[in-house]
Structures are given as C-alpha cells and as structure tokens.
Amino acid sequence: MRRHTGRRPGRTRADARLAVGGRAGARRHRHRRHHRAAHDHRRGPGVKTRVERCADTLRAAATAGDEYAAIDAARAALDSGVPLETMLLDVVAVAQARVGLDWAANRITVAQEHTATAVHEQVLAVLAHEPAARDHRPGPSRGRVSVACVAGEWHTFPARLLAEVLRLRGWQVDYLGAHVPTPHLVVHVHRAAPDVVALSASIATRLP
C-alpha cells in the first residue's frame, strides 16, 4: 500500500505530455482565433457590413416616419449589390425587429412603432415591384401558397414578408392580408386549391 507523505507527488512523463499537449492545444486555439479575426479584418466593409448599415439607416428613417428616406436607403442597398432576398430578410425584417425591441424597452412610443411598421411595409411593397424582384424569380411556379393572418390578427408585416420571399423563390402566392375569418379562409382554400396554407398569428391562441 502506498504511504501518503503529505507532499504533492512528482510529475510523471504522462503529466508532462498532458501539460505540453495542453499548451500546444492552447496555442492552436489562439492561432485559430487570431486567424478568424484576421480573416474578418481582411474582409473589410463587405456585404455583411453594408447590410448592417442599411438596417440601421432604414430603422432610423422608419422611426422618424421618413418614408422617402427609407425607400431611398433600400434602393441604394440594392444598387450596391445587396441581393433582394437579403434585403427582405436581413435588412427590412431586422430593422422591424429592432423597432419592436425599442418599443418593448420604452425607447419609442406606440405611435412611433406604428409609424415605423407602416414605413417598413411600404418598403416591402416597393421592393416587391423592383426589377430585381422579377429578375430573380424562377420561371415555372413551384406551387401555390395562400398566406393569411388569422381572425383577430392585425399585424400583417410577418405575413407580407413571407409572401414576398416565397414569390422570390418561385411560388405563386395569394396574400390575403389581415384578419381573415376562418369561414372565409375555408371558402378561399376550396376555390383556389393552394398546395400550402400559411397562417400568421402573433398569439398562438388565435390559431383556428
């Protein structure tokens, strides 16, 4: 039986290998982290930076109620090479999400939130009719989708955003807008016979 002497046992060769391996692993980790940082630095003001900057500009213009400045910012981003779907999902949607966060944090009023949302919806409508929207749509339809807000749901932005993205991806879209009562939705589905029905609701209990 080994007697405990109260002293820390000496380092074995295995301990030394672990220590060396640990230091080497740490160096590799630092190297990878430095390499990623250097790569990000070399990337410079690329698409991601333009996208983030445009989202900030769009949110500021929308919150101020400046529809023309918001539309000009969106068109300028398109002209600079930002893809249209990126504009919808990473610029307009992100700007609107930040408006919601600002409202939740009491940084803006309800009136400002409604104003910003209305401006963002107008930007969506403008982008949907840009030549880039027609150029990026595939030829044959991938199917038919009906997009609607459920009864009692008046927040149309998410549904409209989905509708425009689906159109870009080649779907034929019936966008029914806000507050579609269930009986009328059923009638539409029977008449249009869509392949998919997408329902938007900010509260799950509103789902039919």
Considering the domain boundaries, does residue 9 fall inside one? no
The CATH number for 66's domain is 1.10.1240.10
Is 105 in the same domain as 171? no
Is 123 in the same domain as 145? no
Considering the domain boundaries, does residue 110 fall inside one? yes
pLDDT digits (tens, 9 = 90+) for 176-198: 999 999 999 999 999 999 999 99
Q: How many domains does the chain have?
A: 3
Considering the domain boundaries, does residue 64 fall inside one? yes
> Which pLDDT belongs to residue 34?
42
> Which pLDDT belongs to residue 48?
61
| Residues contacting residue 17 through CB under 8 Å, at least 6 positions apart | none
Considering the domain boundaries, does residue 23 fall inside one? yes
> Which pLDDT belongs to residue 17?
44
| Residues contacting residue 121 through CB under 8 Å, at least 6 positions apart | 156, 157, 160
pLDDT digits (tens, 9 = 90+) for 45-102: 455 678 999 999 999 999 999 999 999 999 999 999 999 999 999 999 999 999 999 9
Rounded Cα–Cα distance for residues 93 and 43 (Å) = 24
Considering the domain boundaries, does residue 144 fall inside one? yes
Is 127 in the same domain as 156? no
